[in-house]
């Protein structure tokens, strides 16, 4: 027991680990909340597209000398708008358009990165470097995550209705187009906030896994939000602590922990379904 306490408390003695844990908690919360809406809307591929499409914006922002977060956000929004325009003005399906746009922008970003002399390490951009987060980057993450969470929680019922049934949302007078692009902007901001933690490749796992796990365990959306947040925060903290002790990459450790939680939730969901089939009277009462 004492050894376990030492394993959990030892990392907090270092300032860089204190910053990493705070960043892990904040990133876990904002990704979990938005994850529920993406799962409900079926936008898994959209999150993947935007997360890859931010790379050219990061490179251009570095060259111009503006904050990388601004370039990443603008690049992500451009990807989302371009996808919507091509979908509405061609016969190509949305998933096909997203595959073309995000792979093209990601490849363009790799070409730019390889041709520009920079002190940025490509692996840090692709996979994140939470243990190396600075005070300035932590403040930036906190600010972006705070704005995103505030907007989502303020309009959570409108976003929920839009994701669940956009036609009904339009009938009752909700601004469907504004909600559509607003959710895309929030998605881009969440990806920007998570860049330092897990990078542009692994952020999609953090945007999908918590929502999927909560979806399998909960029947109401409010409980789904709570479950996703708890799972995401625990995964981020555990993954950060594990990466410290094994001297491994933080982002992949977080994603592995989330994958383990997903497997556990899947087996639990299957077991619960089997029990309901075996005891129909109990399932009716519940």
How far is 279 from 275, CA to CA, in rounded Å?
6
Token duo for residue 10: 């030892």
Question: Residue 261: its pLDDT value, please?
Answer: 92
Residues ≥6 apart with Cβ < 8 Å to 17: 11, 131, 240, 244
Question: Residue 123: its pLDDT value, please?
Answer: 62
Question: Residue 230: its pLDDT value, please?
Answer: 93
Q: How far is CA 169 from the centre of its chain?
A: 25
Angle (nearest 5°) at CA 75 between 165 and 72: 105
Residues ≥6 apart with Cβ < 8 Å to 262: 209, 212, 213
**pLDDT tens across 97-133, in order?**
777 877 888 888 888 877 776 665 656 666 677 777 7
DSSP-derived letter for residue 10 is G
How far is 174 from 176, CA to CA, in rounded Å?
6
List of domains in the chain: 1-274 (1.10.3470.10)
Q: What is the reported pTM?
A: 0.81
Please tell me whether residue 213 adopts helix, strand or coil conformation: helix
How far is 64 from 253, CA to CA, in rounded Å?
33
Token duo for residue 124: 């840090």
User: Which regions of the chain are under pLDDT 50?
Assistant: 285-286
Q: What is the dihedral of CA 270, 273, 275, 281, to 10 degrees?
A: 180
How far is 102 from 82, CA to CA, in rounded Å?
10
**pLDDT tens across 127-157, in order?**
677 777 778 778 888 888 888 888 888 888 8
Q: Is 17 left (phi over 0), alpha (psi -120 to 50) or beta?
A: alpha
CA gyration radius, the chain: 20
Backbone φ, ψ for residue 78 (5° rounding): -60, -40
How far is 210 from 72, CA to CA, in rounded Å?
23
What is the tally of helices (H) and strands (E) in the chain?
A: 13, 0
């Amino acid at each position: 027991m004492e050894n376990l306490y030492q394993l959990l408390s030892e990392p907090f003695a270092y300032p860089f680990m204190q910053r990493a844990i705070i960043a892990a908690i904040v990133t876990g919360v904002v990704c979990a909340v938005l994850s529920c809406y993406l799962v409900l809307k079926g936008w898994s591929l959209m999150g993947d597209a935007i997360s890859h499409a931010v790379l050219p914006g990061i490179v251009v922002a570095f060259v111009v000398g503006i904050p990388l977060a601004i370039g990443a956000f603008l690049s992500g929004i451009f990807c989302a708008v371009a996808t919507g325009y091509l979908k509405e003005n061609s016969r190509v399906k949305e998933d096909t358009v997203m595959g073309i746009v995000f792979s093209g922008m990601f490849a363009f970003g790799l070409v730019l990165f390889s041709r520009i002399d920079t002190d940025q390490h490509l692996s840090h951009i692709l996979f994140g470097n939470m243990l190396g987060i600075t005070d300035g980057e932590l403040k930036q993450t906190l600010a972006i995550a705070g704005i995103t969470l505030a907007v989502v929680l303020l309009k959570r019922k409108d976003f929920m209705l839009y994701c669940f049934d956009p036609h009904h949302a339009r009938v009752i007078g909700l601004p469907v187009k504004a909600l559509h692009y607003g959710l895309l902007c929030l998605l881009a901001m969440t990806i920007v906030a998570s860049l330092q933690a897990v990078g542009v490749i692994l952020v999609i796992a953090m945007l999908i896994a918590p929502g999927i796990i909560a979806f399998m365990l909960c029947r109401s959306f409010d409980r789904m939000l709570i479950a996703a947040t708890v799972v995401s925060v625990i995964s981020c903290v555990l993954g950060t602590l594990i990466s410290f002790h094994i001297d491994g990459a933080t982002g992949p450790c977080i994603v592995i922990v989330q994958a383990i939680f997903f497997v556990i939730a899947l087996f639990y969901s299957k077991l619960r379904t089997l029990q309901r089939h075996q005891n129909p009277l109990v399932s009716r009462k519940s």
